[in-house]
Amino acid sequence: MYKEYDAKRILIISDTHGRLQNLKVLMQRLQTPDLTIHCGDLEMSEESVQKVVGSQLVCVRGNMDYDGKLPAEQMIEIRGKKIWITHGNRYGVSGTPLILKEEAIERGMDIVMFGHTHRPYLDTDKDITILNPGSLSQPRQDNGRPSFMMMEIDDNGEAHYSLNYL
């Protein structure tokens, strides 16, 4: 049911909207991750993003993506962590991620990743981690800086998250 990945360092991005300049800058500064996850609104081909990140890439379709090849959501497993990736627009995340969180818990997920709001978000509790890396091209949070997240899974299987800005 889940595609499995053996990755320790995972780059999480979203809402690049056809603009790769900030992603190119990021990849010059960052050691190539084991896996990159894009939470939708690429507005370009998956292959174009793949060339820039240089790692395995998992993408979902956002509300501005018209490439029918991209799935609306994906469920994957990384080192035993069940992860649901969705753009989030179908779950009312512009108001609150609560519906998305409840759905992820019902599905038995450990982590849910979403985009759409262009604002970073990270909530970790005993049941689930829910996160949004924000946008690399059109940030909407107060500081206005392009954002992304890194997830690192240690040798004990614990996931650690960091919110980062360009």
Query: What domain count does the chain have?
Result: 1
**pLDDT score, position 67:** 76
| CATH code: domain of residue 68 | 3.60.21.10
Sole residue written with tokens 């627009």? 89
| Rg value, the chain, Cα | 14
CA distance 94 to 40: 15
- The pTM assigned to this predicted structure is 0.96
**pLDDT score, position 113:** 98
Q: Would you call 164 exposed, middle or buried from its count of C-beta atoms within 10 A (0-12, 13-18, 19+)?
A: middle
Q: Which two tokens stand for residue 146?
A: 């392009």
CA atoms within 13 A on the CB side of 133: 31
pLDDT in tens, the chain (166 residues): 689 999 999 999 999 999 999 999 999 999 999 999 999 999 999 999 999 999 999 999 999 999 788 999 999 999 999 999 999 999 999 999 999 999 999 999 999 999 999 999 999 988 899 999 999 999 999 999 999 999 999 999 999 999 999 9
Residue ranges making up the domain that contains 99: 3-165
